[in-house]
A and B are shown apart, each in its own frame.
Chain A
Amino acid sequence: MPMNRRTHLASLLALLSAPTISPAQTAPDWAATLAKARGQTVYFNAWAGDAQTNAFIAWAGAELQARHGVQVTHVRLKDTAEAVTRVIAEKAAGRTADGSIDLVWINGPNFLAMKQQGLLHGPVTPLLPNFQLVDTTVKRSNVIDFTTPVDGFAVPWKLAQIVFIYDSARIPNPADVPRSAEALLAWARKHPGRLTHPNPSNFLGATFLKQMLYELAPDLAAMQQPATDETFARTSAPLWAWYAQLRPLLWRGGRQFPDNGSAQRQLLNDGEIDITLSFNPAEAAVSAASGLLPPTVRSFGLRKGSIGNTSFVAIPFNAAHKEGALVLANFLLAPATQARAQDIAQMGSPNVLDLRRLGAADRALFDRLTPSAALPSAADLGPPQLEPHASWMTRVTAEWQRRTANP
């Protein structure tokens, strides 16, 4: 949607402003947005497989209703792609306004697809006062998604970083925990059938392969560029050699894979495997607290680092209640909201903010979070590695499917 001159000027002003200016002073349009949003109902489409996230969204809705008179309806999705399909269907039917989706929780490949197809409304981040507080330097995934600039078409919500989870009752000595690709292979040799990964047609499964690619690839820089047949063959050769050795040692002989991270977590709980992985560094702590995993679970990161990305919320091009969606997106960035989200009693997801930009009172919120032995330390995880160019994921998934199609 083309920006009009007023919004352009406003965003320029916002960009030129010094970082210490408090959010309430920027974008005079914001008051107008708030006024227009009052009384609207925002249909927030978000994956609903996690009770914790659902509760958080419900809380956010209550807050928004109380503060700004905006009602939030959580449209529960089994799969983010449902929302993408719906927007496409609406576009195919020629509905350019009054769309059924106002805000969608989206990440990675889904976001890319929507942006490339022109299905998103934006840029929106310049319109949000709280976007000032977002970390765009260290947490680069907030503005670059799979090497493609976000360009403000999506608002960061929470961080994700690959973390591995294991049951300390099964692996009592932390030194035995495998923290590299070679160590994983060695561990699998000693414990055949106790390791697996989600099916790479799922985002988490594909990211596992990408992570191992990072571990084994000779040339990391090449992966920030689009993959060619030549670079792909060269860079991924060590991965496939390693995987060929690993596959027979995997759970079910590498012929069957859990559908997604949740299914794999259930396998860990059922005692069928010993190690699982997740995008949420607090997954172990949150799951142990809610009884989804035994209380003896612990987290660890790979020594060389783990891939991280950002989950966004985005507004479809034809959203009916854009102002309400903006208000919600802005609220999600508020320090109090981000601190609450990070607490493992709620969602446990890492915040997207630059804590140095916060006032002392806001910063203190992040010090009072619930501790847990199952949380990985910051030193344990290390800074997140950026996602490779999207073409690498597509190719890795396709190649994996080709190699494993015929058991």
Chain B
Amino acid sequence: MSAALLRAAPALTVAAFGLPIAAGLLGTVLPAFGHMPAIGVDQWGLQAWQALFDHPGFATSLWLTLRIGLLATVLSVLLAVGLAGLLATRPAAARLGAWLAPVLATPHSALAIGLAFLIAPSGWLVRWVSPGLTGWALPPDATTVGHVSGLAVVACLLLKEVPYLVLMILGALNQVAAPAQLAAARALGHSAASAFLKVLLPQVWPQIRLPVFAVLAFSLSVVDVALVLGPGNPPTLAVLALRWFSAPDVQRYPQAAAAALLLLGLVAACLLAWHAADRLLARLGRRWIERGGRGGAVVPASALAAGAGLVLLALTALLLLALGLWSLAGAWRYPDALPSVWTLGNWQQQGASLAGPAANTALVALCATAVALVLTLACLENESAGGVPAKRRAGPTGNTGRTSNTGGQRSLWLLYLPLLVPQVAFLFGAQVLLVRARLDATYLAVVWTHLIFVLPYLYLSLADPWRAFDARYARTGASLGASRWRVFWRIKLPILLKPTLIACAVAFAVSVGQYLPTLFAGSGRIATLTTEAVTLASGADRRVTAVWALLQALLPLAAFVLATALHRWCFAGRRGMA
């Protein structure tokens, strides 16, 4: 593998998604300030912004967006820490970790639809106790779904964000001699919870900082969950922007662009604020650690957080079950706790139109994952080959204590850009770019657009295990006469096969769940399971929606199962590889 090619990898990677994002943003910035000849708007100025601020309910939308974004992030961090602490300190509970992956495979929109059915006043939870325990012959006129506080949206976001952060924390813990440090801390008299919070968490915190940023950005700019569970009048800023982008009155486009840009600014501001708060928290945290407390209040607090985390997992299982029941239901009215008419017809009917979208989804996901994998491995290999010196992230004392770094290349920040910029802010501009290049409605365009979002997740999942690879293996291989390429192919990759396969499964799941990118890049010609699911969901037939939601989740789940099985098959009988 030529060193020159490797050195080009980071630049190539950044270009692969940097260009579309930049072009897309341009395509949003220009209309926001009055330049969009296609609809006859060509007057530079702030009229679009004025229209945005004057829109009735704008302030409410803004506060709602902030509330949902910050609350979801804070709660998901707290619950993830609690749950991760439970899993890391209690070996019996570690088996629960295996259930986290299927939750991540389920797309947000499917979870939203399931949750909406679960918690609605005419929903499943109420149906179990009505009219028997509650006496409600008709559903009560209370608001859960679409409550103005946005709590329903927060709940749905937590369902996926908590497992994601838990997996990130546990993954980072693998790189730190966790059990030994835990034993040492407990020998000093600290409870398990206190040991986790004061010893292990600070060491892995730098590595979950970026995932938390991604969670924050997503919570602020989420669209499909807010559409299903959020208040409609007024909605969040992202939904508002989307509504105006889709309005029949095309004169609303500049306003929509302005809203999308405002959302981008909001995300940036929140990230900065979080960063500052993080710094403050680090300083306060150090004081707290050095006070030597053995964890009086910490134990019940972590137990509460862990408990809440478990409740979330139970909710997810419940709503997936509800979706399953709906997919088999012929008729299911309030207050029946189970469908009154069962049928396989839903699956049969949808099965006919299944093959095309399923094939498209798998094809696009495989291609995007493959390209992302090659780019990621090239970047990581370049890094370990010394192409770019590994940067150390400064911990509280200026050192993370690990000989391999957690900072990595500077381009890591850029890699996160697709996760931090709201999709709605740049996809329209990107579509114009694609059309101009005559690339729209091609598989290439869709794969490329998916690649933008798949790359960060793949890199994130793979970087730490890759960097933690014991360099002595490679050195031994070299001393035995193997070339760089041979060391990579025959030593490094096989040893790191498990994290690589899992990372690929994650990337696959991300690609399957993409909606707006497929829509814009594919010009509607390329139907995937997700576009079909969202489109059919607009017809509000829960039976059809449930079938497609489950199908959407099945493919990534299969990827996860395949990844684990493949690894086990490859290395059956090698206990050191488990």
Direct contact of A and B (CB under 8 A): yes
By a CB distance below 8 angstroms, the chain A residues around B245 are 81, 85
Cβ-based interface call for A76 (8 A)? yes
Known contacts A50-B539, A81-B246, A252-B143: A75-B56 contact under CB 8 Å: no
By a CB distance below 8 angstroms, the chain B residues around A109 are 248-249
Closest beta carbon of chain B to A407's beta carbon, Å: 7
Cβ-based interface call for A224 (8 A)? no
- Residue of B243, B246, B524, B540 near A75 (CB, 8 A) is B524
Q: Is the CB of A405 within 8 A of B233?
A: yes
Known contacts A82-B519, A108-B248: A48-B536 contact under CB 8 Å: yes
Complex CA distance for A199 and B240, rounded to whole angstroms: 13
Cβ-based interface call for A123 (8 A)? no
Cβ-based interface call for B315 (8 A)? no
Q: Is the CB of A404 within 8 A of B233?
A: yes
User: Binary interface profile of B, 429-450, with partner A (CB < 8 Å = 1, else 0)?
Assistant: 0011101101011000000000
Complex CA distance for A100 and B445, rounded to whole angstroms: 14
Q: Is the CB of A257 within 8 A of B432?
A: no
Q: Is the CB of B349 within 8 A of A51?
A: yes
Closest beta carbon of chain A to B66's beta carbon, Å: 17
Cβ-based interface call for A63 (8 A)? no
Which one of B34-42, B205-213, B267-275, B459-467 is at the A interface?
A: B34-42
- The size of the chain A interface, using a CB distance under 8 A, is 68
Known contacts A78-B534, A78-B538, A92-B36: A83-B148 contact under CB 8 Å: no
Q: Is the CB of B531 within 8 A of A76?
A: yes
Q: Is the CB of A256 within 8 A of B233?
A: yes
Complex CA distance for A50 and B535, rounded to whole angstroms: 9
Cβ-based interface call for B303 (8 A)? no
Complex CA distance for A291 and B339, rounded to whole angstroms: 12
Complex CA distance for A50 and B214, rounded to whole angstroms: 36
By a CB distance below 8 angstroms, the chain B residues around A83 are 524
Complex CA distance for A265 and B141, rounded to whole angstroms: 17
Complex CA distance for A263 and B122, rounded to whole angstroms: 14
User: Binary interface profile of A, 65-95, with partner B (CB < 8 Å = 1, else 0)?
Assistant: 0000000010111111111111011111111
By a CB distance below 8 angstroms, the chain B residues around A294 are 331, 333
- Residue of A89, A108, A262 near B538 (CB, 8 A) is A262
Q: Is the CB of A272 within 8 A of B122?
A: yes
- The size of the chain B interface, using a CB distance under 8 A, is 66
Known contacts A50-B539, A82-B246, A272-B139: A89-B431 contact under CB 8 Å: yes
> Which residues between 1 and 51 of chain B lie within 8 Å of chain A, taking CB atoms?
36-40
Q: Tell me whether chain B's interface is mostly helix, strand or loop, or mixed.
A: loop
Complex CA distance for A93 and B534, rounded to whole angstroms: 27
Complex CA distance for A277 and B438, rounded to whole angstroms: 43
Closest beta carbon of chain A to B125's beta carbon, Å: 13
> Which residues between 97 and 140 of chain B lie within 8 Å of chain A, taking CB atoms?
120-122, 138-139
User: Binary interface profile of B, 493-537, with partner A (CB < 8 Å = 1, else 0)?
Assistant: 000000000000000000000000001000111010001101111
Cβ-based interface call for A110 (8 A)? yes
By a CB distance below 8 angstroms, the chain B residues around A4 are none
> Which residues between 42 and 66 of chain B lie within 8 Å of chain A, taking CB atoms?
55-57, 60
Offer 19 A-B interface pairs, CB within 8 angstroms, sorted by A.
Answer: A51-B349, A75-B525, A76-B532, A76-B535, A81-B247, A85-B428, A93-B436, A100-B441, A117-B40, A252-B141, A257-B232, A260-B538, A266-B542, A272-B122, A291-B341, A294-B333, A401-B56, A401-B57, A405-B233
Other than A100-B441, A113-B250, A255-B143, give 9 A-B pairs with Cβ distance below 8 A: A76-B535, A86-B523, A92-B38, A93-B435, A117-B250, A193-B141, A251-B141, A292-B541, A294-B331
By a beta-carbon cutoff of 8 Å, the part of chain B in contact with chain A is 36-40, 55-57, 60, 120-122, 138-139, 141, 143, 146, 148, 227, 231-234, 243, 245-250, 253, 330-331, 333-335, 341, 349, 353, 428, 431-433, 435-436, 438, 440-441, 519, 523-525, 527, 531-532, 534-544
Closest 8 CB pairs of A and B: A49-B539, A405-B57, A262-B540, A92-B38, A109-B248, A405-B56, A193-B141, A81-B246
By a beta-carbon cutoff of 8 Å, the part of chain A in contact with chain B is 43, 45, 47-51, 54, 73, 75-86, 88-95, 100-101, 108-110, 112-113, 117, 192-193, 199, 201, 203, 251-253, 255-257, 259-260, 262-263, 265-266, 269-272, 291-292, 294, 394, 401-402, 404-407
